Amino acid sequence: MDLSVKTSIKAVVTALAATAATALLPATAAHAEGQNRVGLAQQRTSSSGIGYTSFAGLLNWDGSGNYTINGVLQATCSPDARPTTVWLEHAGQSQPWQLTGKAGCDHGGYGRLPVSVSGHVSPREKLQIRLGTWQSSRFESGTTSHSEEMVFDISS
Evaluate if residue 153 carries a pLDDT over 50: yes
Tens digits of residue pLDDT in 28-61: 334 578 999 999 999 988 777 899 999 999 999 9
Evaluate if residue 137 carries a pLDDT over 80: no
The pTM score is 0.76
Ordered by start, the domain boundaries in the chain are 34-152
Q: How big is the CA angle at 130 (ends 128 and 110), to the nearest 5 degrees?
A: 155
For the domain made up of 34-152, give the CATH fold. Answer: Immunoglobulin-like (2.60.40)
Tens digits of residue pLDDT in 55-111: 999 999 998 999 999 999 999 999 998 899 999 999 999 999 999 999 999 889 999
> Other C-beta atoms within 10 Å of 109: how many?
16
Measure the CA–CA gap between 146 and 86, rounded to whole angstroms: 10
Mean pLDDT of 116-138: 92
Q: What is the pLDDT of residue 140?
A: 65
